[in-house]
Structure 1
Amino acid sequence: MKTKKIISLLAGIALSISMLVGNSSFQTVAKATQADTNLVKNGNFDTNLKGWGNYTTDGGVGKVSQQDGALNAEVDNCGNVSYSLQVYYDGFKMLKNGKYHLEFDISSTTDRKVEYTIQRNKGDYRSYTYGKIDTTSKVQKVSDDFTMTEDNDKAPRLAFNLGNVGGGDLPEHSIKIDNVKLVLLDDTGVTYDEDDAPKVEQKIVLNQLGYKPEDKKKIVFRAASEDRKFRVVSTSTKEVVYEGYINGSINNEAAGETDRFGDFSSVKTPGTYTIETDGLGSSYKFTIGQDVYKNVFKDAVRFFYMQRCGQEIPESLGGKWAHPACHTDLARIYGTDQKIDVSGGWHDAGDYGRYVVATSTAAADLLTAYNDNKAAFGDDFNIPESGNGIPDVLDEIKYQLQWLLKMQDQTSGGVYHKVTCAGFPGHVMPQDETAELIVCPISTTATGDFAAVMAMGYENFKDIDPSLAEKCLAAGEKAWAYLKDKPNTPVSNPTGIVTGAYEDNDDTDERYWAAAQLFKATGDSKYDDAFKALENKKISSGLGWQSVGDFGNLAYISAKGADQNVAGNIRNYIINEAQHIVCLDKNDGYNIPSGTKGYYWGSNMNVNNNAIFLAKAYKIFPNEEYLEYAKEHINYCFGKNSLGKCFVSGYGTDSMKHPHHRPSIVQEKAVPGMIAGGPNSGLEDPTAVAELDGLAPARCYIDNQESYSTNEVDIYWNSPFVCAMAEVDRD
């Protein structure tokens, strides 16, 4: 699956702590294990740029490559600020009182100034060391010995700013950087953080929140031992309430381990427990209770309120993540001087962009969850509209629909793909992203998704807010009329825009979904005919932002007047796919169908989408295994995985604490109820490359704010998480 890459922008350069340009020899031998070790793991660029990232913004134009055993940056335009072009390295630590040595070789085909810095990668971006170099065609070695005087920093950045450093126009040129070294010379006086010590991995893993009394309760023992039995122990009385056998053995290639299993489903008495063995120690504690998921479900839904754009989030509702209204300026339509109001909506992810295709699938997930389990959604989720007599999830959807309506061109009916700034902001609160807002061109994928979700809006609001419902239906039909005369148009970022592209080369599945939802909403045969014409084509299945075919399938089989031959074929497809998922689940140590190739960007979305799919299949054919394994997918998210990690912030003993989510980074505490993207064996950010290289696919995850390819959060990852929990009564 293609997906967007969120790359943090380095937003400021501070004064140096101490700097020396010239030759300097290595000094005192450090006591630390990292002493005399190059913290830059690929500083010689002998074969590739592994571990290095690059960034362009604010007018900068250029590209970076490995060439002749060095990093080569071709600069076409220096842009407007020093960091308009930047190359950087993450994935190391800086320790207070540590004495460091930095050195590198640099040259340029034109005389110019270049900045280097090691700095804090959030907040005010202050430098721990900084220098400005006059570069020429002659290779010079730059050396900098300095002492880290600030508190320990687990996620700093080494950066070279190749943008507009010295002012003035420069011709096209190239800059070569090589032999980069960063060494801790002396750790006298350094205090190491407790979590720098090797972590003792959990050998007994399960759902860290717990289970409802009637649930199946399965454990994974992820290490070889002589243990043949396990005990369930009450944390309050210390009594053994159950003793069971450890059975089976699976070679889990995706996790690089052997898994064995236990089952304590017969334990149903509410309380808090641990699992204990003689050889593998204890599990994290967990709870058995009817309301064990109540709080996490509410927080997972409230995440969407916390992502609201264009509206004040008061302290009474937002806590330490409160902020004034943001992104309220008019936005310029790309390539024109025309400005329009596109305020409102949800911030997409760890960044503050708003993307139609992503928000449409997120809204569809929430509406699906509501329609399938209305009892899960009350009017008391602590948002401004709570208590108005309308389920809060519908209030949240209404806020989003009102924004989506602004994204439609009123003349043509086409829908703009997204609104963002030209580049990503630094680690700032939303009101502090003040660069120009740009509305990117109309896309057929955005227009198709818009038409579909507007039809869903009509169905859900026609009895609650008839005026809004009619606006939605009219807008959806206008979008469909636009699509009828437009061919498929592949989507990519326009020149100068480097925010999430949400690329898509085929809009057939978006049209398929739109036709199904409009037919369901109106009963108009023209939409039925359009759907059936598309149904004969090969449609991309899926419940993600790029492949939305299954949204269309689920809409059509629930539509009054649907062609029963077509609907029957779709139902058979759903049952066959559900059987396939269950078969894969049974052969995986953690009962998810990922295999060695299933850990990609946003893998946790796929885990929850499979849970939704199984729950939908159960409604067609009530095979109890479908529900059983749907619940196992959710157990995986709450800690029953090879990392022993609860991917949901604020919950479980070992939860995700450092998401790539700007408000959480700024406030140094994660908003509760967010689910991380999860393991990604592609290693698509420098931190992942530096920390996860060589690990088994299922273990390619790091709870680090800079690992945007494994630890970002997103509305269209939380939405299937909410939907999956609602579908299997996890509320």
Structure 2
Amino acid sequence: MKFFLTWTVLLAALMVSGQQTTDQFIRINQLGYLPAGSKVAVWGALRDAVITEFELLDAANGKVMFRGRAGKPFGTYGPFTQTYRLNFSAFRGTGNFKLRAGNAVSPSFPINDKVYSGSADFCLRYMRQQRSGFNPFLKDSCHTHDGYTMYGPMPDSTHVDVSGGWHDASDYLQYVTTSANATYHLLMAYRDYPAVFGDAHLANGLEGTNGRADVLDEAKWGLDWLLKMHPRSDWMFNQLADDRDHISMRIPSLDSQYGKGYERPVYFVTGQPQGLGKHKNRTTGKASTAGKFASAFALGYSLLNKYDPDYGSTLLDRAGSALKIGISAPGVCQTAPMKAPYFYEEDNWADDMELAFASAYRLPKGNKPAMLDSAMRYARMETTTPWLGKDTARHYQWYPFINLGHRELAVTAPAKEKSELVGYYKKGIEAVWNKARQNAFYRGVPFIWCSNNLTTSFAIQCKWYRGLTGDKSYAELEQANIDWLFGCNPWGTSMVYGLPANGDTPLDPHSAFTHLKKYPIDGGLVDGPVYTSISRSLIGLTLYEPDEYAPFQSDLATYHDDYGDYSTNEPTMDGTASLVYLLAACESESGAARAITRGDAASRRIAIVFTGHEYANGGSTIREALNESGTKASFFLTGDFYSNARNRSLIAGLKNDGHYLGAHSNKHLLYCDWKNRDSLLVTKSRFLLDFRENEKAMAKHGIDVAKTKYFLPPYEWYNDSIVKWTGSLGKQLINYTPGTLSHADYTAPQDANYRDNATILESIRSKEQKDGLNGYILLFHIGATSKRDKPFFNEIKNVIFQLKERGYQLVRIDDLL
């Protein structure tokens, strides 16, 4: 059993250190800690004890690397009679370490910039495994006959095609409520942090590459199903299957207990209470479901329209029709019970409508002032998500567990509205902080069903607040919630199956995949601990194995890694999707993220970009070539270029022509050594100051720097630190796609790396013929030294003509990525 192994490993560690008691424990984030981030562990004793200091040890040789004061005692929490926070944030070294305090030694953990690398992609494994229709994990299909209608304007039991989507949890029910929220989180993750995701799977989830990030493939799987659930402007369905599902544990292809072959019931959105059996929900309207539809479709349109305009048009149309339904039928649309009294008791809907309008507001089309006014009206109806600061709530009563609309709106809203929205976030965070500050785990999230989902959402809210304001007051609270998910909790276990690979993670979740077939459910976030009073009251909760965490259960809260505990150990699809977003944000901030060097390799689209610093002599020639061919390009220019009065009319012309104008540093600094890329030549403060000066110069030309997402580094030379620092500004670092010599157009004949025009053109031509240029970022310069007697910018017209003749669409960088 895991309990025996955990205690054996701990006992061995303590014996090595000369101490052999096991009544004191140090809880850590098993994934590890970032060198520059908040680094805190929690020491707890099962019997009365005190400590005054702690030590950070090199895991390999036991050498003391850091000593710290234990700080104030926090007293009793859960099973522990005394607790302390061990804060070693001042230590900035990297490596593998252990903590020692009192009679306790922690397991080994890493400190480095890579601790979150690949974690978001890892959790996508669970999302793929949850697919209905074709399931890539099983390499089999299920639920292909769904479904037959109930409550609709058509006769009951009419067949409609709603196959696809994701199973909600370890049961096989499917809800728009959770699926739309999951889809939105996945779309956001790709939009906000595209560089952290890989491409190792096809659209159907099988292994392979298709030139599109796996997270975007997964999000589209959700969108495809949502379109089936809103198949026409006046039809919306909310739920597929019901709690007759719970008759047994089985592999999904064996579902046949609904009375109509392999079909399952699909519930039409009526705005009235529903329930085919003894129990009914408390539905009052349609807006909660309609708002979720509209926001997912709007964000999906913004990301996918450039790949498939017909699909994008459908998404945009359905976003509009769903929004109209939400406006016309305010209120909540709850999920429907059948045999049991359990259902998703969502009681809020204004947040969903706010998000719908906020998502529409961020689109380039539509009546912006009206969208903003409507979004703010709904925002003021629910300023803080009601569970924040509360001790309890009904199951999914306040869902989603975070108000996504506040952030979506604040990113682009005017200063007055932004200040109001971030104020709402702060108020909610403060409500949780007032409780969290009283215990060593900084735990202010109530122990209700799916407490891990609430924890994930709250960490995201803290992260968004910090990003929107620069206020780091709650950074340690934010990290404490992340740490909780990965082992810094009373049970000392990660709440994510298989993450980290060598850690203490769930082994016996409430899942047919593991229970019947021993299949791993990698990346699944389990529900998490509940109040012990809840656990004791639940129908049918039975433990099938000895409780490996028995010493750490308490009258406060309970967690069991046991198949029989459906309240704490069942993984959920929507919670995992939220975790994908959180981990993507963590990886991006860590500096382990990458610069984007290519768009979708499956699409015949190319971005032509120009950089400029000293020279602008090709500006008029390039602009003329672009205008004649109807091509939009992107220009990344330094602050010196923007500030040069001789360039004023050129910049104005490029702006009026609709080209993308971005930053290229203020003084064209060399960030890192040419021979040793890891050797920085600038400090973070100098980098940030230089970047801000670049943006100030841009703003003087009327460029909205808040909407310029991408940054192209000077000399096209950078390292992980530059990627990280760029991400801290809310920007994405990009670079040209390797494979051609387009960027060599700055060279002069006396240079060792000189390339003439013919050589550059041939490199583009041969690369295109051999591998294609789908998704390429081709970089040229807007000017050249007079020493280059034949400047390449005179060839731009020819380049554009040949690329278009080969069937490529030339787009701005923000339309490529």
- The bucket for the TM-score relative to the shorter chain is 0.5 to 0.7
Answering whether residue 451 of structure 2 is matched by residue 603 of structure 1, we say: yes
Aligned to 1:415: 237
Tell me: CA distance 1:210–1:666, structure 2 relative to 1, closer, same or farther (3 Å): same
Answering whether residue 505 of structure 2 is matched by residue 661 of structure 1, we say: no
Aligned partner of 1:376 among 181, 189, 196:
196
Distance, in Å, in 2 between the alignment partners of 1:540 and 1:577 is 6
Shift of 1:416: 3.0
Aligned partner of 2:26 among 200, 204, 214:
204
Aligned to 1:635: 483
Aligned partner of 1:710 among 542, 545, 568:
568
- Asked whether the equivalents of residues 509 and 540 of structure 1 are also in contact (C-alpha less than 8 Å), the reply is no
- Asked whether the equivalents of residues 186 and 218 of structure 2 are also in contact (C-alpha less than 8 Å), the reply is no
Tell me: CA distance 1:285–1:195, structure 2 relative to 1, closer, same or farther (3 Å): closer
Shift of 1:211: 1.5
**Given residue 537 of structure 1, which amino acid in structure 2 is its aligned partner?**
M
**Given residue 292 of structure 1, which amino acid in structure 2 is its aligned partner?**
V
Shift of 1:303: 1.6
Shift of 1:614: 1.0
5+ residue gaps, structure 1, are 1-153, 155-191
Aligned to 1:437: 264
Distance, in Å, in 1 between the alignment partners of 2:423 and 2:50 is 46
1:350 is paired with a residue whose SS is coil
Shift of 1:649: 1.3
**Given residue 250 of structure 1, which amino acid in structure 2 is its aligned partner?**
F
Answering whether residue 130 of structure 2 is matched by residue 348 of structure 1, we say: no
Aligned partner of 2:142 among 323, 326, 345:
326
- Asked whether the equivalents of residues 657 and 703 of structure 1 are also in contact (C-alpha less than 8 Å), the reply is yes
Shift of 1:246: 2.6
Answering whether residue 456 of structure 2 is matched by residue 590 of structure 1, we say: no
The aligned runs of 1:143-542 (5 Å cut-off) are 203-223=25-45, 224-225=48-49, 227-253=51-77, 257-277=81-101, 279-313=102-136, 318=137, 322-334=138-150, 336-380=156-200, 383-384=205-206, 387-410=209-232, 412-420=234-242, 422-435=244-257, 436-442=263-269, 444=286, 445-488=288-331, 491-493=334-336, 496=338, 501-521=343-363, 522-524=365-367, 525-538=369-382, 541=385
- Asked whether the equivalents of residues 213 and 270 of structure 1 are also in contact (C-alpha less than 8 Å), the reply is yes
Tell me: CA distance 1:201–1:659, structure 2 relative to 1, closer, same or farther (3 Å): farther
- Asked whether the equivalents of residues 634 and 725 of structure 1 are also in contact (C-alpha less than 8 Å), the reply is no
Which of the two has greater helix per residue? 2
**Given residue 228 of structure 2, which amino acid in structure 1 is its aligned partner?**
K
Question: Normalized against structure 1, the TM-score is what?
Answer: 0.66
Shift of 1:695: 5.2
Distance, in Å, in 1 between the alignment partners of 2:60 and 2:77 is 38
Distance, in Å, in 1 between the alignment partners of 2:411 and 2:237 is 27
- Asked whether the equivalents of residues 413 and 475 of structure 1 are also in contact (C-alpha less than 8 Å), the reply is no
1:592 is paired with a residue whose SS is coil
Aligned partner of 2:423 among 567, 572, 576:
572
Deviations for 1:342-365, whole angstroms, at most 9, x for unmatched residues? 111111111111110001111222
The aligned runs of 1:532-571 (5 Å cut-off) are 532-538=376-382, 541=385, 546-548=398-400, 550-559=403-412, 562=413, 565-571=416-422
Shift of 1:331: 0.7
Deviations for 1:564-603, whole angstroms, at most 9, x for unmatched residues? 5444321222233344444544333112323xxx111111
**Given residue 592 of structure 1, which amino acid in structure 2 is its aligned partner?**
R
Shift of 1:640: 0.7
Distance, in Å, in 1 between the alignment partners of 2:30 and 2:483 is 8
2:246 is paired with a residue whose SS is coil
Aligned to 1:612: 460
Deviations for 1:30-75, whole angstroms, at most 9, x for unmatched residues? xxxxxxxxxxxxxxxxxxxxxxxxxxxxxxxxxxxxxxxxxxxxxx
Answering whether residue 621 of structure 2 is matched by residue 621 of structure 1, we say: no
Question: Normalized against structure 2, the TM-score is what?
Answer: 0.59
Distance, in Å, in 2 between the alignment partners of 1:499 and 1:720 is 27
2:216 is paired with a residue whose SS is helix
**Given residue 441 of structure 1, which amino acid in structure 2 is its aligned partner?**
F
- Asked whether the equivalents of residues 213 and 289 of structure 1 are also in contact (C-alpha less than 8 Å), the reply is yes
Distance, in Å, in 2 between the alignment partners of 1:196 and 1:630 is 28
Tell me: CA distance 1:646–1:506, structure 2 relative to 1, closer, same or farther (3 Å): closer
Which of the two has greater strand per residue? 1
**Given residue 398 of structure 1, which amino acid in structure 2 is its aligned partner?**
K
Q: Percent same amino acid at aligned positions?
A: 23
- Asked whether the equivalents of residues 448 and 510 of structure 1 are also in contact (C-alpha less than 8 Å), the reply is yes
1:711 is paired with a residue whose SS is coil
Aligned partner of 2:527 among 659, 677, 700:
677
The alignment yields a C-alpha RMSD, in angstroms, of 3.3
1:379 is paired with a residue whose SS is coil
Tell me: CA distance 1:625–1:387, structure 2 relative to 1, closer, same or farther (3 Å): farther
- Asked whether the equivalents of residues 490 and 503 of structure 1 are also in contact (C-alpha less than 8 Å), the reply is no
Shift of 1:499: 9.5
Distance, in Å, in 1 between the alignment partners of 2:540 and 2:67 is 42
1:530 is paired with a residue whose SS is helix
Tell me: CA distance 1:497–1:470, structure 2 relative to 1, closer, same or farther (3 Å): farther
Shift of 1:253: 4.4
Distance, in Å, in 1 between the alignment partners of 2:407 and 2:418 is 9
Tell me: CA distance 1:266–1:625, structure 2 relative to 1, closer, same or farther (3 Å): same
- Asked whether the equivalents of residues 252 and 589 of structure 1 are also in contact (C-alpha less than 8 Å), the reply is no
**Given residue 312 of structure 2, which amino acid in structure 1 is its aligned partner?**
A
**Given residue 673 of structure 1, which amino acid in structure 2 is its aligned partner?**
G
Distance, in Å, in 2 between the alignment partners of 1:387 and 1:196 is 39
**Given residue 97 of structure 2, which amino acid in structure 1 is its aligned partner?**
Y
Tell me: CA distance 1:347–1:500, structure 2 relative to 1, closer, same or farther (3 Å): farther
Tell me: CA distance 1:302–1:423, structure 2 relative to 1, closer, same or farther (3 Å): closer
- Asked whether the equivalents of residues 177 and 238 of structure 2 are also in contact (C-alpha less than 8 Å), the reply is no
- Asked whether the equivalents of residues 379 and 406 of structure 2 are also in contact (C-alpha less than 8 Å), the reply is no
**Given residue 183 of structure 2, which amino acid in structure 1 is its aligned partner?**
A
Distance, in Å, in 2 between the alignment partners of 1:340 and 1:703 is 39
- Asked whether the equivalents of residues 201 and 209 of structure 2 are also in contact (C-alpha less than 8 Å), the reply is no
Distance, in Å, in 1 between the alignment partners of 2:515 and 2:127 is 18
Shift of 1:372: 2.5
Shift of 1:226: 5.3
Distance, in Å, in 2 between the alignment partners of 1:629 and 1:573 is 17
- Asked whether the equivalents of residues 233 and 321 of structure 2 are also in contact (C-alpha less than 8 Å), the reply is no
Tell me: CA distance 1:493–1:694, structure 2 relative to 1, closer, same or farther (3 Å): farther
Deviations for 1:482-538, whole angstroms, at most 9, x for unmatched residues? 2333353553526x4659632334533333322322233343355444334434434
Distance, in Å, in 2 between the alignment partners of 1:576 and 1:421 is 37
Tell me: CA distance 1:474–1:650, structure 2 relative to 1, closer, same or farther (3 Å): same
Distance, in Å, in 2 between the alignment partners of 1:402 and 1:504 is 24
Distance, in Å, in 1 between the alignment partners of 2:490 and 2:227 is 43
Bigger relative contact order, structure 1 or 2 (CA pairs below 8 A, ≥6 apart): 1
Shift of 1:412: 1.3
Deviations for 1:275-307, whole angstroms, at most 9, x for unmatched residues? 234x42321221223222224332112221121
**Given residue 69 of structure 2, which amino acid in structure 1 is its aligned partner?**
Y
**Given residue 114 of structure 2, which amino acid in structure 1 is its aligned partner?**
D
2:123 is paired with a residue whose SS is helix
2:292 is paired with a residue whose SS is helix
Give the aligned length.
Answer: 527
- Asked whether the equivalents of residues 255 and 696 of structure 1 are also in contact (C-alpha less than 8 Å), the reply is yes
